[in-house]
Chain A
Amino acid sequence: MEAALHPIPPHLAGAGAGRRRRRAVNRLVEVLSMLAAVAAVAVLLLVVISVLVKGLPAINLDLLTHDPAPFGQSGGGIANSLVGSAILIALATAMSVPIGILIAIYTSEFAPPGLSGAIRFALDILNGVPTIITGIFVFGLLVVGHQQSGWAGAIALAIVELPIVARAAQEVLDLVPRALQEAALALGLRRWRVVLRVVLPTAAGGLLTGAVLGVARVAGETAPLLFTSSIFSNVGLTTNPGAPMPNIPVTIFSLSESPSPADHAQAWAAALLLILFVLALSVTARTFHERSRRRIRG
């Protein structure tokens, strides 16, 4: 009724045929981009669900508490790999987190701007180095002429973890407002004390996030461990990094190559544990990240 009383003049209504086509293109782009987003989420869900479906039946207490059964026998578990992975990740994190934070402190506080940018760039490149190359590198350095060991594996993982921790630490240290550092300097505190008592505590949440993300990344890294800590077929539960340590990624690989379906089931179960672990870490990292951002805003 209104339209009849107040017709819309053509220059406001938009030209006829062109308008329909523009609307169609709009709609098409909207639909395509939505499908792409759906596809991404769908892939994630597919992976998680298939691992869940295949792995859940094989999860039982034995799996978590027993070492692999001797060759030919059934049963057994992956306890040695769980412990071995935990130790390898812990060692790698103990090496990469302090160094990564120190690097970030250097580039944020002390380095001249040009050098700071160059270090960031180098870290980004290190982050992109295929982990198999890292594995070969550590293999050549530490394993050739000696033997595989947990230490070599941890060092290889630490090299993978370092750029993640360092870049995340750099981002969060840069977020700490300059005003806080000025206030501390103007009080007569020395630079290192300012970093230790003011900058690091303020950035603590973000540093923790970086560490958690680093752990999530190396938890499933296989290539570095293939070269450095993969020969452990008859090794039971061990806590000695001087020898090759059983670990989840390599165990998944070798179990899936076995002819026995029981082994396959265990491989799926191990994969399920791994993916749950990584998911849990990612969610934790996100939570810390939110809290730390709120805290820095003050």
Chain B
Amino acid sequence: MLSPPNTEKMEKIEPRHISAMAPSPSQAGGGHGITVERLNAYYGQRRVITELSIELRANHVTALIGPSGSGKSTVVRCINRMHEEIPGARVEGSIRLDGVDVYDRRVDVTALRRLVGMVFQRPNPFPTMSIHDNVAAGLRLAGVRGAAVREQVERSLRAVGLWDEVKDRLNQAGTSLSGGQQQRLCIARAIAVEPEVILMDEPCSALDPLATLRIEELISELKDRFTIAIVTHNMQQAARVADSIAFLLDGRLIEHGPTAQIFTNPRDERTEQYVTGKFG
């Protein structure tokens, strides 16, 4: 704990095979956790996250719930530094991935984003690329070539349960799939680069219930390999997929605890009011 943080893996982008990437030093058990400490996020002068501290446990699914505008999406966008893509946005505090502050000046933000992947609310496959090329989009950048790309594309599509449905039409446009399939394609694209953490920002809100269910099953399977944070408006979904639930209100973390405890025995009155539907 006292040794200097290892920023090497986030400093340089070197072409190398994904499979050769050394697993990074991490918490016991081999997983990768995120520690957010006293995060404050601003859009210009307006503060939208206040003194937020939370721990995303390795290989767990943490759900962030709360009413609209509570800052859930902003928090996850701070973790992979997508927040700073908005002009005028800034951040204070620290966010550590395996002990390394992702906002350290030596950290290369594109390398960080390959370690922390993101799935968005509306499926967004690249329209000019085929299904295969969509999944491979992040891979080729990392220098993976040829057969290794094809193998990784197949592995990722199998992992999201899409392989059998698309294996005969890998060359068709990514946008030729249904909404639920497109979102699974986006998840495959995110996991193809073998990140350590996956952030999901309301991944099912644009999907029908059946597609939603399939993705929730997928999340439960994926947590063995990745640490997952999911922002959701849907409390039943949080109850189904999450190991722990964090309740946010007006940019502050009100309570964070195991799923069962949050629903049956919340410590804060506001949490209780929200989960019982009195507001939000």
Contact flag A185-B137 (CB < 8 Å), given A112-B87, A202-B127 = no
The reply to whether B110 and A186 form a contact with Cβ atoms under 8 Å apart is: no
Contact flag A296-B113 (CB < 8 Å), given A179-B120, A187-B190 = no
Of residues 76 to 131 in B, which have CB atoms within 8 Å of A's CB atoms?
Answer: 80, 82, 85, 87, 110-114, 117-118, 120, 122, 124, 126-129
| Residue numbers in B under 8 Å from A177 (CB-CB) | 124
The reply to whether A189 and B141 form a contact with Cβ atoms under 8 Å apart is: yes
Contact flag A184-B127 (CB < 8 Å), given A179-B120, A189-B138, A189-B141 = no
| Residue numbers in A under 8 Å from B122 (CB-CB) | 179
* Overall SS of chain A's interface: helix
Q: How far is the CA of A197 from the CA of B124 in the complex (A)?
A: 15
Q: Which residue of A lies closest to B199 (CB)?
A: A186
- Report the minimal beta-carbon distance from A7 to chain B, rounded to whole angstroms: 53
Interface string of A273-295 (1 = CB under 8 A from B): 00000000000000000000001
Other-chain residue from B113, B120, B175 in contact with A188 (beta carbon distance below 8 A): B113
Q: How far is the CA of A112 from the CA of B122 in the complex (A)?
A: 27
With an 8 A cutoff between CB atoms, is A24 at the interface? Answer: no
- Report the minimal beta-carbon distance from B175 to chain A, rounded to whole angstroms: 5
Q: Which residue of B lies closest to A296 (CB)?
A: B127
| Chain B contact patch, size range | 20 to 34
| Residue numbers in A under 8 Å from B113 (CB-CB) | 185-188
Of residues 153 to 189 in A, which have CB atoms within 8 Å of B's CB atoms?
Answer: 177, 179-180, 182-189
| Residue numbers in A under 8 Å from B193 (CB-CB) | 187-188
Contact flag A187-B124 (CB < 8 Å), given A182-B85, A298-B175 = no
Q: How far is the CA of A118 from the CA of B190 in the complex (A)?
A: 38
Most buried by B among A185, A186, A298: A186
- Report the minimal beta-carbon distance from B178 to chain A, rounded to whole angstroms: 13
Other-chain residue from A186, A189, A295 in contact with B82 (beta carbon distance below 8 A): A186
Of residues 193 to 208 in A, which have CB atoms within 8 Å of B's CB atoms?
Answer: 193, 197-198, 201-202, 204
With an 8 A cutoff between CB atoms, is B189 at the interface? Answer: yes
| Residue numbers in B under 8 Å from A204 (CB-CB) | 128
The reply to whether A183 and B120 form a contact with Cβ atoms under 8 Å apart is: yes
- Report the minimal beta-carbon distance from B133 to chain A, rounded to whole angstroms: 10
- Report the minimal beta-carbon distance from B14 to chain A, rounded to whole angstroms: 13
With an 8 A cutoff between CB atoms, is B186 at the interface? Answer: yes
| Chain A contact patch, size range | 20 to 34
With an 8 A cutoff between CB atoms, is A190 at the interface? Answer: yes
Q: How far is the CA of A198 from the CA of B138 in the complex (A)?
A: 12
The reply to whether B127 and A187 form a contact with Cβ atoms under 8 Å apart is: no
The reply to whether A184 and B175 form a contact with Cβ atoms under 8 Å apart is: no
Q: Which residue of A lies closest to B190 (CB)?
A: A187
Q: Which residue of A lies closest to B126 (CB)?
A: A198
The reply to whether A188 and B126 form a contact with Cβ atoms under 8 Å apart is: no
Contact flag A188-B124 (CB < 8 Å), given A112-B87, A193-B141 = no
Q: How far is the CA of A112 from the CA of B113 in the complex (A)?
A: 24
Q: How far is the CA of A202 from the CA of B189 in the complex (A)?
A: 18
Q: How far is the CA of A187 from the CA of B124 in the complex (A)?
A: 12
The reply to whether A182 and B141 form a contact with Cβ atoms under 8 Å apart is: no
Other-chain residue from A184, A185, A186, A193 in contact with B126 (beta carbon distance below 8 A): A184
- Report the minimal beta-carbon distance from B222 to chain A, rounded to whole angstroms: 17
- Report the minimal beta-carbon distance from B274 to chain A, rounded to whole angstroms: 28
The reply to whether B117 and A182 form a contact with Cβ atoms under 8 Å apart is: no
| Residue numbers in A under 8 Å from B175 (CB-CB) | 298
Q: Which residue of A lies closest to B141 (CB)?
A: A189
| Residue numbers in B under 8 Å from A189 (CB-CB) | 110, 137-138, 141
| Residue numbers in A under 8 Å from B124 (CB-CB) | 177, 179-180, 182-183
Q: How far is the CA of A201 from the CA of B128 in the complex (A)?
A: 6
- Report the minimal beta-carbon distance from A284 to chain B, rounded to whole angstroms: 21
The reply to whether B114 and A187 form a contact with Cβ atoms under 8 Å apart is: yes
Q: How far is the CA of A182 from the CA of B120 in the complex (A)?
A: 9
Other-chain residue from A180, A185, A198, A296 in contact with B85 (beta carbon distance below 8 A): A185
A-B contact pairs, 30 of them (CB 8 A): A179-B124, A180-B126, A180-B127, A182-B85, A183-B120, A183-B126, A183-B186, A183-B189, A184-B126, A185-B82, A186-B80, A186-B118, A186-B120, A186-B190, A187-B114, A187-B117, A187-B137, A187-B138, A187-B141, A187-B193, A188-B112, A188-B114, A193-B141, A197-B137, A201-B128, A202-B126, A202-B127, A295-B127, A298-B127, A298-B175
